[in-house]
Amino acid sequence: MIQVRTWLTVGLMTVVLVAALAGCASQSSSAQAASQAEQTIGNQGSDTLVNLALAWAEAYMADRPNTRISVTGGGTGTGLAALINGTTDIANASRAMKAEEVAAAEQNGITPVEIEVARDAIAVVVHPSNPVPGLTLQQLSDIYTHKITNWREVGGEDRPIVLLSRESNSGTYVYFLENVIRLGKKSDLMFSSETLLMPSSEGISTEVRQNPNAIGYDGLGYVTADQRMVPVAKDAQSPYVVPSVEAVNAGTYPISRALFMYTAGEPTGQVKEYLDWILGDGQVLVTTLGFVPLAK
């Protein structure tokens, strides 16, 4: 009997051990699956792109419950800094990376890959009561460098011009500086010190709505019905054009640009699948948010 009981005890211990090991393996597999399910794609940067990036993320995750995408703004410079430092998977940018940013990334062993994801027009906006008929790029440069200080100098009323701009970490700020204020030339021209720097697109919208003397600029997708978009001409001999999807596609609006996402090296895995979707089915959302989809 003693021998039988011994074998029974050993057998029971073996069964318990196997069950425990199986339980551990099951828990390990579950933990691994949960870890994979909770893997998040980090997406940070341009405030111009943030609403479109959020719309893309929500639509993508709706059909893929195991994918999480975290989208934050902060400006193009912030997003690119995060990419350079290895703290985000995708950096949103409303301008191309600067040579010094590429060099900083390469010093950290990162080769940035640029992916154009949409196009945009930068609208020049004023209060709806402002009657200014249109502005050339040169006039905009003169306004933002404070050579022109009164609306009557450009066909408006006798009112002082109040300058609004995004902050310097914004890709829109950099693009406007280089392509409007400096007219695409090598120059040391800067925004006038009288310019009020706004932390967001919403800040510009709010101030324009409240101030009939103000002028600002913003991505087309952020212009609201209570602002007036000023027609812009390349020069005095060119047509004055109101920004629109059609004008960007036709190449007639002079302040148009590409919008980018950057990755650290060629995208792979979930990041690649997500970017492939953005460049394909995701383009349907671009127009609904006021941007210009990529030409097929």
Write the secondary structure of the chain as one string of H (helix), E (strand) and C (coil): CHHHHHHHHHHHHHHHHHHHHHHHHHHHHHHHHHHHHCCEEEEEECHHHHHHHHHHHHHHHHCCCCCEEEEEEECHHHHHHHHHCCCCCEEEECCCCCHHHHHHHHHCCCCEEEEEEEEEEEEEEECCCCCCCCEEHHHHHHHHCCCCCEHHHHCCCCCECEEEEECCCCHHHHHHHHHHHCCCCCCCCCCCCCCEEECCHHHHHHHHHHCCCEEEEEEHHHCCCCCEECCEECCCCCCCECCCHHHHHHCCCCCEEEEEEEEECCCCHHHHHHHHHHHCHHHHHHHHCCCECCCC
Q: How far apart are CA 69 and CA 52, in angstroms?
A: 13
**End-to-end CA separation in angstroms for the chain:** 83
Residue 115, pLDDT > 70, answer yes
Q: Are both 167 and 239 inside the same structural domain?
A: yes
The CATH number that applies at residue 262 is 3.40.190.10
Whether residue 134 is predicted with pLDDT greater than 60 in this model: the reply is yes
Q: What is the mean pLDDT of residues 201-212?
A: 93
249 and 262 share one domain: no
Residue 26 lies in a domain: no
Residue whose entry in the numeric block shows the structure tokens 């027009």: 121
Q: What does the pLDDT average to over 165-177? A: 93
In a shared domain, residues 127 and 246: yes
Q: Is pLDDT above 70 for 288?
A: yes
Quick check: 220 and 122 in contact, CB under 8 A? yes
Please tell me whether residues 138 and 239 are part of one structural domain.
yes
pLDDT mean over 245-260: 93
Structural domain contains residue 30: no
- Residue 38's pLDDT is what? 59
The mean predicted confidence, pLDDT, of the chain is 88
CA–CA dist 200, 73 (Å, integer) = 10
The answer as to whether 5 is a domain residue is no
| 218 and 269 belong to one structural domain | no
- The whole model's pTM is what? 0.79
Mean pLDDT of 216-244: 95
pLDDT score for 105: 98
Average pLDDT estimate for 136-142? 98
User: Same domain for 59 and 101?
Assistant: yes
Are 178 and 269 in the same domain?
Answer: no
pLDDT at 253 over 70: yes
> Residue 4's pLDDT band (boundaries 50, 70, 90)?
very low
User: Which of 133, 67, 126, 13 lies closest to 275 in space, CA to CA?
Assistant: 67
Total of domains in the chain: 2
pLDDT tens for 74-100 read: 999 999 999 999 999 999 999 999 999
Residues 215 and 277 in one domain: no
Q: Is residue 268 part of a domain?
A: yes
Residues 133 and 250 grouped into a single domain:
yes
pLDDT tens-digit series, residues 19-75 = 343 444 444 444 444 444 557 999 999 999 999 999 999 999 999 988 999 999 999
Say whether both 163 and 230 belong to one domain.
yes
Residue 65: what pLDDT?
Answer: 87
Q: Specify the amino acid at residue 266.
A: E
Percent of the chain with pLDDT over 90: 80
Distance of alpha carbon 74 from its chain centroid, rounded?
9
Is 95 within a domain? yes
Residue 4 within a domain: no
Is 76 within the bounds of a domain? yes
Tell me which of 17-26, 152-161, 247-256 is least confident: 17-26
Mean pLDDT (whole number) for 187-205: 94
232 band by pLDDT with thresholds 50, 70 and 90:
very high
Asked if 45 and 91 sit in the same domain, the reply is: yes
**Do 131 and 252 lie in a common domain?**
yes
Domain with 131 in it: 120-256
Overall average pLDDT of the 277-291 stretch:
95
Residue 8 has pLDDT above 90, yes or no: no
Residue 12 lies in a domain: no
